Chains A and B, each alone.
Chain A
Amino acid sequence: MWSRLALSRTLRSLSLFSSPSPSNWSKVVSDAEKIVGYPTSFMSLRCLLSDELSNVAMQVRKLVGTKHPLLNTARGFVYDSKNNLQMRGLVVLLMSKAAGPSSSASESLLPDMVSGIYPSQRSLAEITELIHTAFLVHRGIVNLKEWTNADGPLKDMQFGNKMAVLSGDFLLANACTGLAQLNNTKVVELISSAIGDLVQGIYYESSSTAEDNADFTLASWENQTFLSHGALLAKSCQAAMELAKHDKESQTLAYQYGKHLSLGHKLNSDLQPFVRGSEGELVPFSLDSAPVMFHRHAVGLERWQQQLQQARSMGRQTDYSKLCSTIKKEKGVSQAMDLCGYHGNKALEVIKCFPASEARSALENIACAVAKF
C-alpha cells in the first residue's frame, strides 16, 4: 500500500516539474520572458528571502534521508525552477501585455506601465506563482497514520509536516496581503475562488485511483483537472484583464486561454512517458495520469485490473515498460493526444482574438508547444 502511495507522490512531483518536449519548450518560454521585461518574481523572491522561509530552509535539512515529500518540493525550487515554476506568472504577464491598456483607461495611468504591463498586473502574476507554490507544498502533507517506521522515524515526518504546513501558509498569507494591495475587490474574489477550486481539485485528485470509479467520464476528468490544474491560471488571466479595466468579453477570452492552455499542458506532461519511448529507459508514470485513466475507461475495470496484475506478476514491483506497451495497444494514449491537440487549438483560436503583437505571438507559440510531441 505504502510503496504505491510513495510512488504516486514522487510521480506527482515529477510531473509537476517536468516540461513538455524540453528543448522546444525552453526556447518558447525563454523567448517569451524577454518580451515581458523582467520575469523574475520579486514577491516570491521576497518570500524566499524572509526570515520565516530561511528558517524553514535550515530545518528542511533535517529531512534529508527521510521520504517526506517536502524535500522533493524544496529541491524543485532550486534545480528545476527555470522554465516551469514561473510558467503561470509568465502567461499572466504576456496576456496583460497582449491585451494592452484598455480604451477606457485614463491617459494618466499609462506612464506607470513597464514594458506594456501595469504594476498591478505584475503583482498579480507574482501572486499567482505564490499560490501555485503554496499548494505544491501543501500537496505534500503526509498522513501520519499511513506512515510506517520503515519510511523513517515518525518524529521526522511530523516535523516535515509542520514545516510544510507553515511554509505553505506563509506563501498563502503573502498572497492574501498581495491581493489586498491590488485594491480591487473583484480580483480578490476571483483569485480567492481560484484558491477554493484548487483545494477542491487537489482534495480529490488522488481519490480517482479508488477502485469504485464507475462514474468516470471524459467530462468528469476535465472538470476535475480544471479545478486542480486550470482554474488558477484561467482566473488569473481573467483578473489581469479586470485590472486593466478590459470589458467582460476580453475577460472571458483570457479565461478561456488560461483554461485550455492548462488542460493542454497537463495532458502533455501526462503523455510524456508514453511518447518519449525512443529516449531510452522508461520513467514510471502515475496511474492517475490522463492516458491511464482513459485507457481504464476504455477497457473497463475488470480488464484493467488483470493488466495491472500481469505487470506486477514479476515480483511485487510494477513493470512499467510492460504496462506502458499494454496501454499503448489500446486507444487511451491516442485519445489523450487528441484531447491535448484540441485544447492547444482552442487556446490558439482564443488568443487570435487579441490584436497582433509580440506578446500575442509568444502566447500562440506556447499554445502550439503544448500540443507538440
Chain B
Amino acid sequence: MAAPWRHCWRRYYYAAVTGTCRPCVTPAGLLAAPPAVISLLFSYFRWKPRLLLGRCRWTHQDAKLRDPFSLAQKDLKDLYEDIRKELLVSRAELKALCDYYFDGKGKAFRPMIVVLMARACNVHGDRDGDLLPGQRSVAMISEMIHTASLVHDDVIDGSDKRRGKTTINEVWGERKAILAGDFILSAASMALARIGNNAVVSVLSQVVEDLVRGEFMQLGSKENENERFKHYLEKTFKKTASLIANSCKAVSILVNADPEVHEIAFQYGRNVGIAFQLVDDVLDFTSCASLLGKPSAADLRLGLATGPVLFACQQFPELHAMIMRRFSSSGDVDRAWSYVLQSDGVEQTSYLAQRYCQEAVRQISRLRPSPERDALIQLTQLVLTRDK
C-alpha cells in the first residue's frame, strides 16, 4: 500500500488504477479492492470530472517525438503476409476464410504496441533496439489471437459488419466461421510454441483463457452498482487489456530476465488496454456509424451496459432497471441512449480512460529512454483522442 501521507481516497484510487504490483501475474488488482473503493472512485469522479483534462504532464518534452505508427512501420512490414503464411490450409475455401481479415487493411494496433515495447525493452536491456525473431512472432500472434476472437465474437453477437466488411458468419455461415476462428487460434498456438520459450507460451495461453472468461462475464450483470462497476472493469481487462498486457510481457521476457521489467511491460499494456476499451465504449455513444464501422449504440443493442451507462445510472436511477433487463424492452435502447447523453457519463468514462493512460505513462517511464519508449508514451494520447 502507498504511504500514509496520502489522503485516504487517493490511496484507494491509486490502488484501483495501478492494480497490485506483485505478484506480477495478478490480472486486476482492482478485484482485491473492497467495494468501498469503487464508490470512492465514483464520488471522486462525481466531483472533479473536468479538473485534469488536458495534456498529460509526463510526456518527455526533450525527446524528439516520432509518430508511433511510422516508427513501428519497419517492423510491421509484411506482417499480414507472414500471418497468412502461418495459416497452412490445403483447401481453398477454409484458406479464404482464415485469410479474410488479414487483408492488410487492419490498424495492426496490437502488433504496433508489441514491437514498440519490444524495442524499448531491448534498449533498456543494453542491446541495440532490433527485434528478436521471437518478438516479431509475438506481434503476429497477438494479431492472430485478436482476430480469432473477433470471428467468434461476431457469431456470438450476430454481427454482419466488421471493419466495413461483411462478416465471415454472414458470408459463410456460423458453423464455418467458428471453425475458421478455431483454426486461426491453432495456428497462433503453433507459432507460439515455435518461439520455444515456456514462459512465453504460458503468458500468452493465459490470454486465451481471459478472452473466454471475459466473454462469459459479459453474459451476466450484477444487481449491486459497485459490484457492477468492478465486474465491468474486470471484464474489460480480460476481453481487451489482457492480450495487450501479456503480449507486452512476452516480448519483455524474451530479452530481459528481470521480473521488474516484465511487470512494467505488463502494467503499461494493461493500463493502455483498459483505456483503449473505455474510449471504445465512449465512441459507441459519440461516434457516427460510418466512422466506427458499426452502428452506434451497438453495445446497448447487445444488452451491454458499458462505462457511460454505468456512470449515467448514478444520475438517472431509472437506468438501473433497464440495465438489469439488458435493454430488452421496446424503447429501452433509445431511452438509455438519451439518458447517457444528458448525463456526464461520457465525460467521466473519458476521464477514467485518461487516468489509466497516465498510469501507463508512469509505468513505461521507468524504462530507459528510447524513441520507442517515447512513442509508447505518445501512443497513450492517440488512444485518448482517436475518433474511430
Q: Which of A84-92, A101-109, A175-183, A332-340 contacts B (4 or more CB under 8 A)?
A: A175-183
Is B185 in contact with A172, judged by CB distance below 8 angstroms?
A: yes
Contact A193 B186 (CB under 8 A): yes
Contact partner, B195, options A144, A165, A185, A204, Cβ 8 Å: A185
Evaluate contact between A199 and B186: CB separation under 8 angstroms: yes
Identify which of A135-143, A255-263, A345-353 touches chain B.
A135-143
Contact check: which of B94, B185, B187, B201 meets A185 at CB < 8 Å?
B201
Q: A55-B219, A165-B152, A166-B212 are in contact. Are A202 and B179 (CB under 8 A)?
A: yes
B209 in contact with A165 (CB, 8 Å):
no
Which chain A residues lie closer than 8 Å to B294 at the CB level?
A: none
Q: Do A177 and B219 form a contact, CB below 8 Å, given A189-B194, A192-B186?
A: no
For B209, the closest partner residue in chain A by CB is A173
Cβ < 8 Å to B, chain A residues 51-80: 51-52, 55
Shortest Cβ gap from A338 to chain B (Å): 28
- Residues of A132-190 at the interface with B, using a CB-CB cut-off of 8 Å, are 135, 138, 141-146, 158, 161-162, 165-166, 168-170, 172-174, 176-177, 179-181, 183-186, 188-189
Q: Are B173 and A146 in contact (CB under 8 A)?
A: yes
Asked if B364 is at the interface of the complex by the 8 Å CB criterion, the answer is no
Instruction: Establish whether residues B178 and A138, one from each chain, have CB atoms under 8 Å apart when the complex forms.
Output: yes
User: Do A185 and B208 touch across chains, with their CB atoms under 8 A apart?
Assistant: no
Is A203 in the interface zone, CB < 8 Å from B? Answer: yes
Chain A interface size, under 10 / 10 to 19 / 20 to 34 / 35 or more:
35 or more
A138 near B182: Cβ-Cβ < 8 Å = yes
| A188-B189, A189-B193, A196-B190 known; A158 vs B158 contact (CB < 8 Å) | yes
CA distance A144 to B91 in the complex (A): 24
Residues of B within 8 A of A177 (CB): 202, 205-206, 208-209
CB under 8 Å from chain A, chain B span 331-345: none
**Interface assignment of A200: CB less than 8 Å from any CB of chain B:** yes
For chain A residues 111-150, which have a beta carbon within 8 Å of chain B?
A: 135, 138, 141-146
B175 contacts partner chain A, Cβ-Cβ < 8 Å:
yes
B44 touches A (CB below 8 Å): no
B179 A186 Cβ-Cβ under 8 A: no
Asked if residues A165 and B175 are in contact (CB atoms below 8 Å), the reply is no
* CB of A132, distance to nearest CB on chain B (Å): 13
B contact residues around A135 at 8 Å (CB): 182
A-B contact count (CB 8 A): 128
Is B215 in contact with chain A by the CB < 8 A criterion?
yes
With both chains docked as a complex, state the minimum distance between the C-beta of A66 and any C-beta of chain B, in angstroms. 15
- Which residues does chain B contribute within 8 Å of A195, judged by CB atoms? 182, 185-186, 189
Q: Which residues of B contact A176 (CB under 8 A)?
A: 189, 205, 208-209
Quote the shortest CB–CB distance from A167 to chain B (angstroms): 9
Contacts of B213 in A (CB 8 A): 52, 170, 173
**Residue from A161, A168, A192, A199 in contact with B190 in the complex, judged by beta carbons closer than 8 Å:** A192
Question: What is the total number of residues of chain B having a CB less than 8 Å from a CB of chain A?
Answer: 43
Is the Cβ of A174 less than 8 Å from the Cβ of B209? yes
B interface majority secondary structure = helix
Choice from B152, B179, B192, B206 contacting A188 with Cβ under 8 Å: B192
**B321 interface residue, CB < 8 Å from A?**
no
Q: Which residue of B lies closest to A162 (CB)?
A: B156
- Shortest distance between the CB of B182 and any CB in chain A (Å): 5
Chain B 64-91 interface residues, beta-carbon cutoff 8 Å to A: 88-91
From B187, B195, B196, B219, A196 is in contact (CB under 8 Å) with B187
Chain B 160-199 interface mask (CB, 8 Å, partner A; 1/0)? 0000000000000111101100110111011011111110
Q: Are A200 and B155 in contact (CB under 8 A)?
A: no
Q: How far is the CA of A204 from the CA of B14 in the complex (A)?
A: 53
Cβ B196 vs Cβ A185 within 8 A: yes
Residue pair B174, A142 in contact (C-beta under 8 Å): yes
Q: Is B37 an interface residue (CB 8 A)?
A: no
- Assess the A169–B212 pair: CB atoms within 8 A: yes
| Cα distance, A158 to B174, chains bound together (Å) | 10
Task: Report A-chain residues with C-beta under 8 Å of the C-beta of B255.
Answer: none
Once the chains bind, are A173 and B211 in contact (CB under 8 Å)? Answer: yes
Chain A residues positioned under 8 Å from B206 (CB to CB): 177, 180
CB closest residue in chain B, given A161: B174
Which chain B residue shows the least CB distance to A179? B205
Alpha-carbon distance between A180 and B156 when the two chains are bound, in angstroms: 27
Residues of B within 8 A of A166 (CB): 156, 212, 215-216, 219
Nearest A residue to B90 via CB reads: A200
Task: Please report the C-alpha to C-alpha distance between residue A174 and residue B186 in the assembled complex, in whole angstroms.
Answer: 14
Bound CA span A144–B194, Å: 38
> Which residues in B have their C-beta under 8 angstroms from that of A161?
155-156, 174
Known: A165-B178, A166-B156, A188-B193. A183 touches B216 (CB 8 A): no
- A residues near B176, Cβ cutoff 8 Å: 143, 203
A202 to B182, CA, bound (A): 11
Contacts of A174 in B (CB 8 A): 209
User: Would B212 and A180 count as touching, CB distance under 8 A?
Assistant: no
| CA–CA, A180 and B203, complex, Å | 9
Interchain CB contact under 8 A, A55 and B216: yes
Min CB–CB distance A126 → chain B (angstroms): 15
A-B contact list, 19 entries, CB within 8 Å: A141-B175, A158-B158, A162-B155, A166-B216, A169-B212, A170-B212, A179-B189, A179-B201, A180-B202, A180-B206, A183-B198, A185-B193, A185-B197, A188-B189, A196-B88, A199-B179, A199-B182, A203-B179, A203-B183
Residue ranges of B at the interface with A (Cβ–Cβ < 8 Å): 88-91, 93-94, 152, 155-156, 158, 173-176, 178-179, 182-183, 185-187, 189-190, 192-198, 201-202, 205-206, 208-209, 211-213, 215-216, 219-220
- Contact surface of A with B, Cβ cutoff 8 Å: 51-52, 55, 135, 138, 141-146, 158, 161-162, 165-166, 168-170, 172-174, 176-177, 179-181, 183-186, 188-189, 192-193, 195-196, 199-200, 202-204
In order of increasing CB-CB distance, the 4 nearest A-B pairs are: A189-B193, A143-B173, A192-B189, A188-B193
- Known: A184-B198, A185-B195; 19 extra A-B contacts, CB below 8 A, are A138-B178, A138-B179, A141-B175, A142-B174, A161-B174, A165-B178, A173-B208, A173-B213, A177-B209, A180-B198, A181-B202, A188-B192, A188-B201, A189-B193, A192-B189, A192-B192, A192-B193, A202-B179, A203-B176
